[in-house]
Amino acid sequence: SQYQFIAVSTVGERSNVGLIRLNRPQVLNALSSGLMAEVVQALADFDGNGGIAATVITGEGKAFAAGADIKEMTARSFAGLVTGKFRSNFAALQSTKPLIAAVNGYAFGGGCELAMYADIIIASERAKFGQPEIKIGLIPGAGGTQRLTKAIGKSRTMEMVLTGDSIGAQEAEKCGLVSRVVPAESLLSEAIKTGEAIGRNSKITVAIAKAAVDASLETTLRQGLSTEARLFQTTFATKDRVEGMAAFVEKRAPQFSDE
């Protein structure tokens, strides 16, 4: 494989779901810059692959990712961070296709931030989420203070960020951080099933819908509604909208062409 720190494959009955496994179990899949660069590359490859409907990202072993590679970070300086690549790997993460994080164990620090970058988080009952950076004199630096607040609110985020304490899967579900909690043994199959369910819809409409939901995190309600209205109108320019409506009226399954 061209990858050293991750394992990449296509899965699902129609092989239309991309799978990225973080594969440094001996260090709990610590997010070294080498591993992050590979994740960025794999996501870009799946994004550019017309046959892929959605991507699942998970961890090998008992962690999703237990944070940044502290050994690597210890050597860093303020100047090095300003000019260096560590943050830029997170900033370079890009997926126009839905990304599903299947969180199998610890998602701490950068691991929690990577999970929150995904569009949907499905958690194993063994999953644990936390931003423990404060315990080593840091704050979350790849979205933790921002995405977590948007997901679970200010009070809960402050408690997690200021104490560094983690929460379990059930609590993560209760506060809205994850979509659902599933038994550990069915985590991957559930995540892949979700990718396949997305894959039964028009790829172009899925991309438009994802963009609409993403916009809600960036804007006021009024701007968001205006964006949604424009994107809703856009769907009327697609062949798939014509096909979807015709199939509904004719009581048959739609044959989407992704146009």
Sequence-ordered list of residues with C-beta below 8 angstroms from that of 126, at least 6 positions apart, any chain: 62, 104, 105, 169, 184
For residue 90, give the nearest of 160, 37, 162 by alpha carbon: 37
Is the CA virtual torsion 199, 200, 204, 206 positive or negative? Answer: negative
pLDDT value at position 85?
Answer: 59
d(CA 229, CA 60): 41
d(CA 123, CA 105): 8
pLDDT value at position 86?
Answer: 57
- For the whole prediction, is pTM greater than 0.85? yes
Count other C-beta atoms under 10 Å from residue 236's C-beta.
9
pLDDT value at position 162?
Answer: 98
pLDDT value at position 82?
Answer: 60
d(CA 141, CA 134): 11
For residue 234, give the nearest of 201, 256, 212, 257 by alpha carbon: 212
Q: pLDDT tens per residue, the chain (259 residues)?
A: 689 999 999 999 999 999 999 999 999 999 998 999 999 999 999 999 999 999 999 999 999 999 888 777 777 776 666 656 556 778 889 999 999 999 999 999 999 999 999 999 999 999 999 999 999 999 999 999 999 999 999 999 999 999 999 999 999 999 999 999 999 999 999 999 999 999 999 999 999 999 999 999 999 999 999 999 999 999 999 999 999 999 999 999 999 998 9
Q: Which residue has the tokens 């994850």?
A: 178
Ramachandran region of residue 135, left (φ > 0), alpha (ψ -120 to 50) or beta? alpha
Is residue 9 within 8 A of residue 60, CB to CB? The reply is: no
pLDDT value at position 79?
Answer: 64
Which positions are catalytic? 68, 110, 113, 133
